[in-house]
Structure 1
Amino acid sequence: MNKTVIIFFIIAFNLAPVFGVLFFNWQPFEAFWFFWVETLIVAVFNCIRIILSQGRLQDSLSISQPLTYNINKGVKYLLIRIAIFLFYSIFIIVLIGFIANNNADMGNILGTILFQNRFFNLSLLISIASQGYYLVFYFFRSGAFLTSRPDSFAAIFDSRQLVIHIAVVLGAFGGIFLAKNTIYGNYSNTFIISLLSICKCAAELFNYKSAAEVQH
């Protein structure tokens, strides 16, 4: 997969919530929950990378060495990320899901959480498939796991989480302003979700560019 195709998939994937609000009646909760669950999916794949990263120097690649497994570091990282995921899930579900919607869409919210939303589930499956593809072809087959350091995948707070936090604040204030002070109140959900998608897409494109520069 070349650079252009990867960029296309990053942009297309981050447009999924916009597509959801336009054609599948997504509310801001579905979009934030979708990206938040994605952070847990990424954490699982990063756990695999941490466990299997060898951290070898370029000079020693030609020398036959047994593989080492960073199991303790990988499991510790994953448990911390799961704890963070569960902690902030409470705020997303309660504040964005129930309170922001005045409990009117409780059935839809619970359905999404319980994986009864088909478009939501399909988007998550695409996320899992793409992460698996990157793991196989850009970590194992490329040999990157030999030189990668475990610590490079062990960040507790990554750009996805920071973007979601920023988008929650900006989206909430922007949505309230549109609803109360303009004639475009009906577009507040579209604004919130689009802002989240654009911010996250920009962060991932920046991360991909930085990673590509490091590899070269």
Structure 2
Amino acid sequence: MNKNIAVLFIIAFNLVPVFGVAFYNWQPFEAFWFFWVETLIMALFNTIRIIFSQDQPPENINTNQHLVYHFNKGVKYLFTRIAIFLFYAIFIIVFIGFVANVNKDKGVVLTTILFKNKLFNLGLLISIFSQGYYLIIAFFRNGAFFTASPDSYAAIFDGRQLVIHVAIVLGAFGSIFLVKNTSLGNYSGIFIISLLCICKCIFDVKASNIDNYKIVY
């Protein structure tokens, strides 16, 4: 797999919220919801990886061996991810989407949730296309599924989610500082979203070097 293409996908996706807050009046809700929906998209593709992962030793790959399909593990992983997604979705929609936006149009939240936000939808299409590309090129065509383990995918929290949580906390404190101690309070939204996108982008680029992307002949 061409790493440059993977990096371009990652950068393009993570820049969407930055463009949204800078040019399309996005609020923190759109950015948080954008990345949270991404976790569900990734869960769907990871479910496919889990089902087809063969967990063969790298030093002794047998391409003629009958494939083993881990449907039970895939379904269990997917349902766990969906449950976590829905649990956190309530908090994001209620507290960040409605409660925190005291002076904002609440209809914008519904517009985004109902997929009527064109920039938001474009970003999700980038995610779906890139995940499909990784799956076909890096997982199946390169033969990574032979050595991939169905147990290597975190069902509850993974590194990406932890990075998002840390970035949100740091961004929140930074925004409070800007509002209370400087004249740059109007840029607090841009600050928290940009910090979130930068941290996540760095993590995603590093995570693109995981073993599942190794070329196997």
The TM-score bracket by the shorter chain reads over 0.9
Match of 2:139 in 1: 139
Match of 2:209 in 1: 209
Match of 1:119 in 2: 119
The farther-off stretch of 126-135 and 169-178 is 169-178
Please report how far the alpha carbon of residue 18 of structure 1 lies from its aligned counterpart in structure 2 after TM superposition.
Answer: 0.3
C-alpha change, 1:212 and 1:139, in structure 2 (3 Å) is closer
Moved over 6 A (4+): 212-216
Could you tell me which runs of 5 or more consecutive residues in structure 1 were left unpaired when the two chains were aligned: none
Please report how far the alpha carbon of residue 180 of structure 1 lies from its aligned counterpart in structure 2 after TM superposition.
Answer: 2.2
- Cα deviation code 1:5-64 (max 9, x no counterpart): 322321222111101111111111101100000011001100100011011123543462
Please report how far the alpha carbon of residue 111 of structure 1 lies from its aligned counterpart in structure 2 after TM superposition.
Answer: 0.7
C-alpha change, 1:148 and 1:212, in structure 2 (3 Å) is closer
CA RMSD of aligned residues (A): 1.9
| AA matched with 1:198 | I
Normalising to structure 1: TM-score of the pair?
A: 0.93
Structure 1 residue 91 and structure 2 residue 80: aligned? no
Query: Partner of 1:151: helix, strand, or coil?
Result: coil
- Cα deviation code 1:55-84 (max 9, x no counterpart): 112354346221111000010011011111
C-alpha change, 1:146 and 1:76, in structure 2 (3 Å) is same
Match of 1:80 in 2: 80
Normalising to structure 2: TM-score of the pair?
A: 0.92
Match of 2:39 in 1: 39
Structure 1 residue 190 and structure 2 residue 190: aligned? yes
The within-5 A match list for 1:12-51 is 12-51=12-51
- The number of aligned residues is 216
The farther-off stretch of 102-111 and 121-130 is 102-111
Task: Determine what percentage of the aligned residue pairs are the same residue.
Answer: 65
The farther-off stretch of 90-99 and 134-143 is 90-99
Conserved? CA contact 1:51–1:73, under 8 Å: yes
Please report how far the alpha carbon of residue 207 of structure 1 lies from its aligned counterpart in structure 2 after TM superposition.
Answer: 1.2
The farther-off stretch of 140-149 and 1-10 is 1-10
Query: C-alpha distance in 1, partners of 2:62/2:25?
Result: 55
C-alpha change, 1:67 and 1:211, in structure 2 (3 Å) is closer
C-alpha change, 1:72 and 1:164, in structure 2 (3 Å) is same
Query: C-alpha distance in 1, partners of 2:31/2:155?
Result: 23
Match of 1:2 in 2: 2
| AA matched with 1:170 | L
**Richer in helix (by share):** 1
Query: C-alpha distance in 2, partners of 1:65/1:17?
Result: 45
Could you tell me which runs of 5 or more consecutive residues in structure 2 were left unpaired when the two chains were aligned: none
